[in-house]
Amino acid sequence: MSSSSDYSDAVKAQLRAKLDNEVAVFLQRLQSVGVDDEVDDFEIEDIGDEARRLHGLTGSGSSSSSKESGASKDKIPYQVYYTDDVSDQIQTHLEKKKLAKKKRDKKAQIDRLEETMAELNVQRRSLLNDAEIKRLSHNAGDISTDIEMTKILEQYRVNGMKRCRLDAERQSLEYEIWELGKEKR
């Protein structure tokens, strides 16, 4: 077996470049297949630009080693970023996808809550209409109408409390979505 010291810096750089290029192509294939089509509100950066940006942050020492080995910029098509940066890129990509899924799930919950709240609003309006009809048709001394009115008003209050609980839950979910938006940055 040969050790890593058997290879020159230029060969190491080319091997790293090939590996990084293959990983970048793999990520692009994932995106082109439509894996990220459902990701809302996330901008997927160009992998090559991200790689060069990451290399600029971490790879400043590699250019001096390539000059020492006699390799020129013409022989290496682009500067190489480290393999750790590729795994970081993949990890970041996966984390963004998880955050996007959480956000979509929370939005779906909010939609269901809003539908339920709308149904409760319709029921409450209907109860108010029923109460108004009962009030207008009320005969003095008719106890059954008073009992019916009490039941209607009790149901109206119960619906109001349910709606308030659902609204609080909706606001909590919206806050969680806002927190997820902060987390993605």
Q: How do the domains of the chain map onto residue ranges?
A: 1-81, 96-185
Residue 69, CB half-sphere, CA atoms under 13 Å: how many? 18
pLDDT in tens, 158-182: 999 999 999 999 999 999 989 888 8
Residue 163, CB half-sphere, CA atoms under 13 Å: how many? 16
10 Å Cβ neighbour count for 145? Answer: 15
Contact between 66 and 13 under an 8 Å Cβ cutoff? The reply is: yes
Q: Which residue has the higher pLDDT, 47 or 13?
A: 13
Q: What is the pLDDT of residue 162?
A: 93
pLDDT in tens, 26-35: 877 777 666 5
Q: Which residue has the higher pLDDT, 31 or 137?
A: 137
Tell me the average pLDDT across 144-153: 84
Q: What is the pLDDT of residue 157?
A: 92
Give start and end residues of each alpha helix (H) in 34-82: 47-58, 60-68
Q: What is the pLDDT of residue 42?
A: 43
Q: What is the pLDDT of residue 77?
A: 46
Q: Please say if the pLDDT value at position 46 is more than 50.
A: no
**Local confidence band at 184 (pLDDT 50, 70, 90 cut-offs):** low
Contact between 120 and 162 under an 8 Å Cβ cutoff? The reply is: yes
DSSP letter string, 94-138: HHHHHHHHHHHHHHHHHHHHHHHHHHHHHHHHHHHHHHHHHHHTP
